[in-house]
Structure 1
């Protein structure tokens, strides 16, 4: 796992805030105090007054906190240095920026530094005649009740839900005590557990407390502090979720902070700690949902997934569950309320939209039954002969696979040989099951094209499929009554011309075209299939001395491509594989 980072002196917070405002109209920055506020919430904006919301904390948790300033969410934030609370002066600056006659709610995560600085700012605001109230968010369940009895739970993912839901409550015109009640209810009825494969990397600092290559932690915070459970070996996401859910659901007394019943309206938030790919996070979200439904009979009323409150580039995720039924009757309504806050990266959906998922099933549709052309082409073929030729080509591919794979390990991503074998395996199964329509020449080739596309994938699979699809059309349009060498000769040129519409590869570019073009050219010149195969093989061998201009090999250092100079050079694996396929097929045909 890489911990490389750009060089930095760590002074990136203020420029970040400016960049956020530059891309989100409606925000104003007090650069000196590292404060961002909603321009429309300023006392001088001329807008009707409402309860304003101020939050903040250490930076490094983006999009929290500044990303949640917007209509229907926060009105202002004060940003500290990375993982450090903002000063009282900064917080007071944020309070003054959005001072309202209806009062201001201060939302703070339950960390000692934040509580002290935000609490002091609140007291100074009260002394200055401002109407403020403070709510501390604590939703972490990794530390049990006994151990955490004095410090309470850390503020994690539920902080975001408090920002969003209490912000919507304020937008609905609720008074300060009512908005504060909503915020406290959301926090009190939320539970979060997080896990990570490693600690994050702080800009301008060396990595510290790095886990071993086969270790992970459950109970991670958002300030690079260690988790409560260190384990190995590395789990799959389903295995990890199986360990996390009992903790967040409070299946033992010491971690039972919030009760979750199947009949309750539950909100699920799957939070990226900063370093997970969107693909893995979406997968984790589905695994979590499936286990909640299957193992606990809990169908989340709302599900959101994304990077909401991060630990810089922490390679992990958190699970937050909020019991909206216990928090209050309007919580779901406030959750659904639209916001302009950039950190709430969810598209607006009405309550009616969510009803589709009420039974816990994602809407699905059956696959396309068939995209095949069912009308007979009129070009007959002998099924057994066609199958014999095809199987011989597949056998030849299987024979050269180790060498092709080795070539592609140097020149590409190492999957060329196995990809060809995978296509051959599926075709062999189709022949065995008699699902290829080989008695109709055009239909048979068309069926092969579909199987190749599904089973091979990648660039080579696409090229083969395009060529074969066009070849099927060429055979159909030939006007012949049965498949002959002449039929194939005419169709092969049609297919190559079609292929060239979709690829820049040409002879000399060191691709499979260096085998295919000579094969087709030889047929067009009136030469027999064996001579055409010799031309294809010669073309493939010639790639040993070619410079790669397109494809993956074009990105490989020339030094790597010289590894097989004693063999005459490194050939293009795709060209070698195609030549082997053609050789096996032609020899089996008896030409």
Structure 2
């Protein structure tokens, strides 16, 4: 994780609130007090009164809290400085902004500073004649009952569920005491555990409490506080989830705050603490779901995934489970109720939409069947000889992979060598199970093109597949009875011309074309396969002195490309890999 940050004096909260309102019509900002409220909920809006919801706390947990101001969720929030409670004055300002004759519910996370300031604001509101109740959210199970008997659990992911579900209850016209009961029920039946690879970076402050390169923590809070269990080495996500789920499910009696049974309607939230990629978070969510279903026979009734309550850029995630069956019969209905709050980044679905997932299985469909030319081409080849030549080329790729990968780490995204190896692995498996139709030259190359596309992927996989598909067509149309050098020579030229229709790369652009074009040109000049390979190798070598005009390397600074000046410059990794492949193929063919 990078701990670099943009220069900042830390004064970013108020501009953030203004930006939120700018992109979410219907919000109003009291800039001086750092308050955001739903315009339609304002005391003087003229709309039909309802119970209003006010929350807030320290900033740095976005989209909580400001991102949950919207119809069907919160009506107002007060934002403190980063990881610091807002003042009583700010909170009272939020309360007054959405004062309602039906009363206001204050939702606050169970942290000392928040409880004090929000509690004082509640008392002042009552003294001023306002109707107010307060619910404190605490769902963290990292601290056991004995150690946390006085202070209670910290407020984590369930805060978001309380915002959303209590907000829906208020939108349905419930009275203040009833909305408070819904909020309390959600809190009482929720449990959360979080884990992270490191602590977050606070804007304007030097990084602190940085974990070692091989360390991680379970029980991380959202204010950069340490977890309850620091461990190493780094686990895989399935290994980490296997450590987290017993805690959130209460297998340890000291942390058994909420009981979950297979028959219960359970809501699962997998929360990004701010620094995980969407790809990794989605993977983690599926791992959590699979382990809940397979190990515990618990099928979540609802699943939500995203950044809901963060610790700035904390590189970790939290698992929140809510037992909706115990929380009350209307909880799922309120969960499903639509909201305009931007922080609830889930597409609206009604109860019917969710039924397809009721048995715990994701709807899947079979992959598209590859459409192959089944009519024999008439151009025969020897399966064993063809396979031998292919395997020799694959062996050469495996030999040069470390060097190609190194080159591509400098000039690209570092996957050129491994991509080639993946293609070779796919072909090796197909040779072993005889799924390649190598006894027919055109069909065999067509099959190779499909496997290369599937196993390699990316730009290089596409280029190889286009060329091979066109090569197969050229051989099929040759009218020859046997695959010969002459057959291959003619088809290679038409295949190159076909490839040029789909790429702007040409000789001199520092791509694999700098190896392919000399090979094809030399072969068609009648100089033989070995001379063609030497031309490909020379072409690859010439890329050391070329400027990149297309492809990933075209975005790399020239200074980076000069890192290998000591060996004549940095060559194009794709050209080097192709030259090695061609050398292996031609050598095995006896040239």
Matched, 1:53 2:53: yes
Measured after TM superposition, the shift of residue 429 of structure 1 is 3.3
In structure 1, the residue corresponding to 2:192 is in which secondary structure? strand
> 424-433 or 231-240, which moves further after superposition?
424-433
Give the 3-state SS of the residue equivalent to 2:16 in structure 1: helix
Assess, with a 3 A threshold, how the Cα gap between structure 1 residues 141 and 507 changes in structure 2: closer, same or farther. same
1:490 aligns with 2:502: no
Range with greater deviation from structure 2 (72-81 or 437-446): 437-446
Query: What residue is the counterpart of 1:320 in the other structure?
Result: 320
2:347 equivalent to 1:347: yes
Identify the residue that residue 5 of structure 2 maps to in structure 1: 5
Q: Secondary structure at the match of 1:339?
A: coil
What does residue 502 of structure 1 align with?
502
Residues in 2 aligned to 1:186 and 1:570: alpha-carbon distance in whole angstroms: 60
2:266 is aligned with 1:266: yes
1:551 aligns with 2:546: no
Q: Distance in 2 between matches of 1:314 and 1:68?
A: 20
Aligned CA RMSD, in angstroms, stands at 2.1
Q: Secondary structure at the match of 1:322?
A: strand
Note the residue ranges of structure 1 that are not aligned, 5 or more in a row.
none
* SS at structure 2 position matched to 1:537: helix
The structure-2 alpha-carbon separation of the partners of 1:30 and 1:400, relative to structure 1 and needing over 3 Å to count, comes to: closer
Deviation at 1:166, TM superposition (A): 0.6
Q: Distance in 2 between matches of 1:155 and 1:105?
A: 17
Q: Quick one: distance in 2 between partners of 1:459 and 1:444?
A: 22
SS at match of 2:4: coil
SS of the equivalent of 1:146 reads coil
The CA distance in 1 between the partners of 2:336 and 2:270, in whole Å, is 17
Q: Deviations over 1:229-276 (max 9, x none)?
A: 222222222222222212211112221111111111111111111111
Asked if 1:310 corresponds to 2:310, the answer is yes
Rounded to whole Å, the distance in 1 between the matches of 2:118 and 2:424 is: 67
Q: 1:414 to 1:136 in 2, by over 3 A?
A: closer
Query: Counterpart of 2:233?
Result: 233
Structure 2 residue runs without a partner (length 5+): none
State the Cα distance separating 1:506 from its structure 2 match.
Answer: 1.0
- The alpha-carbon distance between structure 1 residues 293 and 204, as it changes in their structure 2 partners (threshold 3 A), is same
Cα distance change, pair 588–150 in 1 and its aligned pair in 2 (3 A): closer
Residue 329 of structure 2 corresponds to residue 329 of structure 1: yes
**Aligned-partner SS, 1:261:** coil
1:153 is the counterpart of 2:153: yes
Task: Give, in angstroms, the shift of residue 399 of structure 1.
Answer: 4.5
Secondary structure of 1:217's match? strand
The structure-2 alpha-carbon separation of the partners of 1:113 and 1:450, relative to structure 1 and needing over 3 Å to count, comes to same
When residues 280 and 401 of structure 1 are mapped into structure 2, their CA distance, relative to the original with a 3 A threshold, is closer
Instruction: Summarize deviations over 1:184-234 as a string: whole Å, max 9, x none.
Output: 111111111111121111111112222222222222111111112222222
2:44 aligned partner: 44
Residues 59 and 549 of structure 1, relative CA distance in 2, 3 Å threshold: same
Moved more, 121-130 or 568-577: 568-577
Question: Cα distance, 1:28 vs. partner?
Answer: 0.7
The residue that corresponds to 1:432 in the other structure is 432
| Pairs within 5 Å for 1:62-461 | 62-461=62-461
Offset of residue 338 of structure 1: 0.6
Please list the CA deviations of residues 530-580 of structure 1 after superposition, one character each: whole Å capped at 9, or x if unmatched. 443333233222223222223343344545544554544433232233223
Cα distance in 2, alignment partners of residues 218 and 590 from structure 1? 60
Question: Counterparts of 1:186 and 1:402 in 2: how far apart (Å)?
Answer: 54
Structure 1 residue 398, shift from structure 2 partner: 4.1
